[in-house]
Amino acid sequence: MNGDEPISILRAAERPAVTLLRNSGPWGVIAKQTAIGFVGVLVAGTFAGILGSWGFGLGVCCVAVPSAYFAWSSQRTMEPGRIVGQGLVKVVSTGGLIALVLVNDLVQPGWFFSGLLAGQGAYWWALVEKPNNNQS
């Protein structure tokens, strides 16, 4: 309940997403994933060489590439059905990319999963980031 009148579940679920977009913009998460990926690749390269860097970078890419598609496509519509469909494409493509990397044995699994977690960590970073007070 919001005061006198109830709010719909879709409107209530929209609030965290609106806050996330207001704080970071639609491409803010992608920028954070890119920054995390770049730093992580350098760290992995320092500790594990080229194979560690490759694994970490592919892990971040498995999260960031579908996220970039979702950010791009969600800018074009606010229809609930399309947003659900785009989210489904994002989840399936993320899983497909992970499977493709693991089936082909392209990486060191520890660094790869570290990259996946770091890429997902960009969402937490965007959620906890304080809003910029200069925005209107």
Question: Which residues, in sequence order, are bridge partners of residue 5?
Answer: 2
Closest CA to 52 of 42, 62, 65: 42
Q: Is 49 left (phi over 0), alpha (psi -120 to 50) or beta?
A: left
Tell me the per-residue pLDDT of 1-16, one tens digit each, with 9 for 90 and over: 445 565 565 555 555 5
Range with lowest mean pLDDT among 54-63, 73-82, 90-99: 73-82
pLDDT of residue 41: 95
What's the start-to-end Cα distance of the chain, in Å?
27
pLDDT of residue 113: 95
The chain-wide mean pLDDT, for the chain, equals: 81
Residue 130, C-beta contacts closer than 8 angstroms, at least 6 positions apart: 23
Give pTM, 2 decimals.
0.74
Range with lowest mean pLDDT among 9-13, 23-27, 113-117: 9-13
Q: Quick check: helix, strand or coil at residue 5?
A: strand
Mean pLDDT (whole number) for 17-45? 79
